[in-house]
């Protein structure tokens, strides 16, 4: 009895260790930027040309589909160069459709409605922001154009080509969703505590660059941006030090584990002094006068935010007090919004950077804390659920290929399998709901299921049955022919 209990306990501990190990491997793999090539640093500061994980996975998916599809296309007599052209057309058309649908669904994310502004936002596909069902529409339209320009001149059956392409679509989705995982987009809802022991249970994304940060912090109020809260500064007190002071720390957070304490004042952020930032407020003339005075005194430097706000940067408290006094004496009517580099950096966090390193002042001493990565609370990794789903559907498609009743049936199976998965998976995501409480993708799934049923009925009636091939005198052939009078003879 004791041996059995010991074995059970050992097995439980071993399983728990395996789960934690798997979760840690998955967690460490989430990187928006896979690597940085140290070239063109003047154009892509500070480290050079970044290679995004999302774009890399799209490229890998394109290469896998092209190379594998070229071999599969030989069985229907399609030349390799024509199939490669076909993949390129579908890939580009799908990306255009996916991005357009995302920009339509989330139009409020694109405030610059000018032609150049929308075009610039459209081209930033590597940052994420595409909708799969938009790629379906774009891909279908691209196929129609490709068929009219190229394919109709070749003796290639559309439905035979559909069966060749169906497994390629499944593997392409599986790889593409890994890109979503790396990018931190397409996240799920907050995971329940019972899933903590499951390998693909709650995922903790790096919070600072995560696309879910706005909802989790600002909209839902489920956590802080960095694992700690700051004291509210009274900027009316001219002699007060406006640099951030820790008010409270989330229990169990990375900040707590790294030794941050209540009352710490942040004096350095990621290797830079936690500079004090003054934003002049008032008329355009008052702001310009403050900027000119700033230049004439030769103190500090000026920065501009992405939205064009002018920030006067003071590296030390002494410099800040001197500058504020001078500017106030110069124009008593000018007012300032005072902040520090930490708040400004967190507000507009650089893409691809995960770690936060702080140096704090604690009871008159300087404490250099180890770097840490603030992470989201546990979210369902719906990106990986789709990858797993497509990898499970892939062998079904490949094994069924020799046994399909008619050409085009693999495409029908793919449509049904993906639509059912997406409808269920969508219930785990945080997406805006529309009619009857369903999301846009859930309605798209319903449309795809109906389209698959109608397509199967059409193909069943019009395509010859592959199940009925055999000697002309075979009773099975006569039975199949009689059961489907509208179909061409086998």
| 125-151 burial code (b ≥16 CB/10 A, e <16) | bbebbbbbbbbbbbbeebbeebbeeeb
Residues 347 and 233 in one domain: yes
The pLDDT value given to residue 479: 44
Indicate whether this model's pTM tops 0.85: no
Residues 185 and 49 in one domain: yes
Can you tell me whether residue 311 is helix, strand or coil?
strand
**Residues in a beta bridge with 276:** 314, 340
Q: Where are the beta strands (DSSP E) in 186-322?
A: 228-230, 246-249, 265-269, 272-273, 276-281, 301-304, 310-314
Residues 395 and 362 in one domain: no
Range of the domain at 278: 224-368
Phi, psi of 415, deg, nearest 5: -60, -45
| Ranges of H-type helices in 209-283 | 213, 254-257
Residues 322 and 440 in one domain: no
Segments of the chain with pLDDT less than 50? 1-14, 17, 470-479, 481-483, 485-490
Q: Which of 24, 387, 421, 23 is nearest to 200 (CA)?
A: 23
Q: Is residue 14 one of the residues assigned to a domain?
A: no
The pLDDT value given to residue 486: 44
Residues 441 and 341 in one domain: no
Residues 306 and 444 in one domain: no
**Residues in a beta bridge with 362:** 365
Residues 346 and 387 in one domain: no
DSSP code for 299: -
To which H or E segment does residue 288 belong?
helix 284-297
Please identify, among 368, 394, 424, the residue that sits at the C-terminal boundary of a domain. Answer: 368
Q: Is residue 5 one of the residues assigned to a domain?
A: no
The pLDDT value given to residue 298: 62
Q: Is residue 271 one of the residues assigned to a domain?
A: yes
The packing angle between helices 80-105 and 53-73, to 10°, is 140
How far is residue 141's CA from residue 127's CA, in Å, rounded to a whole number? Answer: 25
Give the number of other Cβ atoms within 10 Å of residue 288's Cβ. Answer: 12
The tally of domains found in the chain comes to 2
Residues 180 and 261 in one domain: no
Residues 272 and 321 in one domain: yes
Q: Which of 334, 338, 330 is nearest to 311 (CA)?
A: 338
How far is residue 331's CA from residue 227's CA, in Å, rounded to a whole number? Answer: 40
**Residues in a beta bridge with 366:** 361
* Cα four-point dihedral sign 127, 52, 209, 192: positive
Q: Is residue 331 one of the residues assigned to a domain?
A: yes
Please identify, among 344, 368, 392, the residue that sits at the C-terminal boundary of a domain. Answer: 368
Q: Is residue 107 one of the residues assigned to a domain?
A: no
Residues 70 and 168 in one domain: yes
Residues 389 and 338 in one domain: no
Q: Is residue 320 one of the residues assigned to a domain?
A: yes
Q: Which of 299, 293, 296 is nearest to 313 (CA)?
A: 299
What's the N-to-C CA distance of the chain in angstroms?
67
Q: Where are the beta strands (DSSP E) in 231-378?
A: 246-249, 265-269, 272-273, 276-281, 301-304, 310-314, 335-340, 358-362, 365-368
Q: Is residue 196 one of the residues assigned to a domain?
A: no
Residues 354 and 424 in one domain: no
Please identify, among 368, 402, 427, the residue that sits at the C-terminal boundary of a domain. Answer: 368
DSSP code for 216: I
The pLDDT value given to residue 126: 61
The pLDDT value given to residue 1: 35
Q: Is residue 84 one of the residues assigned to a domain?
A: no
Burial class (CB in 10 A: 0-12, 13-18, 19+), 164: buried
The pLDDT value given to residue 314: 83
Please state the separation of Cα 397 from the chain's center in Å: 28
């Amino acid at each position: 009895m004791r041996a059995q209990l010991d074995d059970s306990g050992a097995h439980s501990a071993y399983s728990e260790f395996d789960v934690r190990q798997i979760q840690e491997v998955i967690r460490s793999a989430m990187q928006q930027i896979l690597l940085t090539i140290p070239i063109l640093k003047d154009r892509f500061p500070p480290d050079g040309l970044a290679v995004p994980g999302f774009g890399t996975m799209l490229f890998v998916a394109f290469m896998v589909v092209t190379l594998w599809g070229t071999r599969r296309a030989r069985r229907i007599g399609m030349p390799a160069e024509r199939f490669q052209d076909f993949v390129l057309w579908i890939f580009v058309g799908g990306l255009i459709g996916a991005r357009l649908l995302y920009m339509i669904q989330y139009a409020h994310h694109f405030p610059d409605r000018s032609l150049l502004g929308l075009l610039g936002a459209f081209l930033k596909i590597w940052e994420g922001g595409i909708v799969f069902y938009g790629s379906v529409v774009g891909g279908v339209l691209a196929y129609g154009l490709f068929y009219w320009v190229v394919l109709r001149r070749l003796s290639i059956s559309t439905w035979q080509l559909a069966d060749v392409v169906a497994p390629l679509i499944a593997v392409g989705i599986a790889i593409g969703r890994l890109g979503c995982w790396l990018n931190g987009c397409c996240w799920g809802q907050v995971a329940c505590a019972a899933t903590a022991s499951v390998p693909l249970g709650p995922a903790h994304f790096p919070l600072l660059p995560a696309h879910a940060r706005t909802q989790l912090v600002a909209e839902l109020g489920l956590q802080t941006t960095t694992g700690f809260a700051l004291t509210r500064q009274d900027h009316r007190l001219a002699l007060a030090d406006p640099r951030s002071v820790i008010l409270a720390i989330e229990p169990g957070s990375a900040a707590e584990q790294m030794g941050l304490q209540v009352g710490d004042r942040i004096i350095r952020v990621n290797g830079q002094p936690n500079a004090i930032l003054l934003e002049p407020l008032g008329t355009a003339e008052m702001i310009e006068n403050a900027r000119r005075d700033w230049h004439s005194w030769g103190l500090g430097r000026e920065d501009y935010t992405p939205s064009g706000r002018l920030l006067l940067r003071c590296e030390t408290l002494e410099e800040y007090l001197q500058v504020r006094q001078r500017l106030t004496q110069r124009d008593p009517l000018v007012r300032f919004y005072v902040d520090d580099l930490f708040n400004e950096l967190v507000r507009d966090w650089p893409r691809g950077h995960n770690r936060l390193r702080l140096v704090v002042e604690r009871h008159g001493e300087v404490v250099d804390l180890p770097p840490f990565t603030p992470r989201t609370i546990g979210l369902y990794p719906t990106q990986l659920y789709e990858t797993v789903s497509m990898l499970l559907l892939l062998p079904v498609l490949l094994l069924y290929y020799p046994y399909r009743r008619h050409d085009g049936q693999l495409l029908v199976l793919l449509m049904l399998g993906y639509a059912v998965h997406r409808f269920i998976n969508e219930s785990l995501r945080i997406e805006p709901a529309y009619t009857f409480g369903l999301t846009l993708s859930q309605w798209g799934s319903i449309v795809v299921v109906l389209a698959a049923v109608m397509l199967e009925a059409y193909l069943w009636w019009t395509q010859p049955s592959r199940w009925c091939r055999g000697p002309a005198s075979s009773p099975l052939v006569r039975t199949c022919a009689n059961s489907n009078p509208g179909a061409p003879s086998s």
